[in-house]
Amino acid sequence: MLIFHLTVANLKMITRNRQSLFWALAFPLIFVVVFGLFFRDSDSTTSIAVIDNAQDDMSRQLISGLNQVDGLRVTERNDELLAYDEVKEGDLPYLLIIPEGLIATASNRPPARITVVYDDSSPVGDVVLVLVQRFIDQANLELTNAPRQLALEVQGVAIHRVNFLDFVLPGLAIWGVMSFSVIGLATALSSYREKKILTRILATPLSVRTFFTAQVLAYLVLALIQAAIILSVGALVFGASVEGNLFVIGLLVLVGNLIFLNLGFIVGSYAKTVSAASGLGNAVVLPLMFFSGVFFPTDNLPFILRTVVEYLPLAPMLEAFRGVILEAKPLTEFPVQLLILAGWLAGTAIVAVKTFRFR
């Protein structure tokens, strides 16, 4: 019961500190809102305008085939010059121009020219060209009465698409937990040491182990609340993907937060003042944040740096966290990552115990 009351008291002390609450909740949520506004899902449909100068069975067959393609919106237009200008101005992605007398000219030489006008810098331009070419090849086979020796069997596979907001949201949640655990605990311990609260505890019947256990439990509870709020805002407000088991997500948050709290104890042991603890804590947190894949994948890093980052605590934590949240994978899918985290948990705990000072 004593630990429970001390934990509640520590939570009250943390929540009454508005500056701490800002860094714990408001600051990560600002990033969630910014990324949510800029990278929320947009319409994935591609539009193509068609100028049908042929108006025959073959042109209608081509247009009908394009209409059946998922993600392709086909509109028939009459003014070729106006449509061409719209493509040049960037108002129209693709323009398909079918010449007059398509069936009549297709049996002669040279072949009829079906024109596709588009922005060649478009990342999906080649896809549209392949679609049009496929229909033209099929029409050529039918015109020459070529027998079909091969047939295409289409099998649709449901792909779970991950946008940038889906990718960055787990990183923001873990970054918020890490920042507050390392910097918040380090500054709190430095403040206690400056005010000689820690030395006074030694003179009381209160067990030192009980005092620090209550501290850790308070930060663990706050970490769960932090992660829940950040992930909920991303999922409910901006439609980010959160697919994993909530119990597994919470378990990962607790394991990662124990490592971050150990780092907070270590930083608080070496920092003599609150300002020094804040500066040293940022020196630990910021490199981990930028290099461990919070905002961008680590694949783009140089090989040596990427290899080093893989063995830091945040990178394997994020890899497992994203796998659980975005793909609902079990923890058994991440044996290497969990082994690295276990090593960090044991190592930082030993260092924290060895380095901590009451005075």
Express each pLDDT in 256-265 by its tens digit: 999 999 998 8
Q: What is the pLDDT of residue 156?
A: 40
Share of the chain above pLDDT 70, in %: 77
Do 251 and 312 share a structural domain?
yes
With a CB cutoff of 8 Å and minimum separation 6, the contacts of 269 are 189, 352, 355, 356, 357
Tell whether 243 is covered by a domain: yes
Do 286 and 169 share a structural domain?
yes
Tell whether 260 is covered by a domain: yes
Closest CA to 296 of 304, 311, 306: 306
- At 328, give phi and psi (nearest 5°): 55, 35
Half-sphere exposure of 52 (CA within 13 A, CB side): 16
**What Rg, from alpha-carbon coordinates, does the chain have?**
30
CATH number of residue 120's parent domain: 3.40.1710.10
Do 283 and 218 share a structural domain?
yes
Tell whether 158 is covered by a domain: no
Give the residue, 77 or 93, on which the prediction is more confident: 77
| Bond prior to 287 in cis (omega within 30° of 0) | no
Do 278 and 251 share a structural domain?
yes
Give the residue, 221 or 150, on which the prediction is more confident: 221
Tell whether 177 is covered by a domain: yes
Tell whether 234 is covered by a domain: yes
Give the residue, 258 or 239, on which the prediction is more confident: 258
Q: What is the pLDDT of residue 346?
A: 93
With a CB cutoff of 8 Å and minimum separation 6, the contacts of 315 are 292, 293, 298, 309
Do 285 and 351 share a structural domain?
yes
Closest CA to 10 of 212, 201, 176: 212
Segment 259-288, tens digit of pLDDT: 999 998 888 888 878 888 888 888 888 888
Do 180 and 56 share a structural domain?
no
Measured on CA atoms in the order 293, 298, 300, 302, is the torsion positive or negative? positive
- Confidence (pTM): 0.66
Alpha helix locations (H) across the chain? Answer: 2-16, 18-21, 27-39, 57-67, 80-88, 102-106, 125-143, 164-179, 185-194, 197-202, 208-232, 238, 246-270, 274-291, 303-309, 314-327, 335-355
Tell me which range, 282-291, 302-311, 330-339, is most confidently predicted by mean pLDDT.
330-339
Neighbours of 270 (CB within 10 A): 14
Tell whether 154 is covered by a domain: no
Share of the chain above pLDDT 90, in %: 7
Work out how many domains the chain is built from and give that number: 2
- At 79, give phi and psi (nearest 5°): -95, 105
Tell whether 269 is covered by a domain: yes
On the question of pLDDT at 190 being above 70, the answer is yes
- Domain containing 222 equals 2-40+163-355
Tell me which range, 146-150, 216-220, 338-342, is most confidently predicted by mean pLDDT.
338-342
Do 23 and 97 share a structural domain?
no
Return the DSSP state at 149: -
Tell whether 237 is covered by a domain: yes
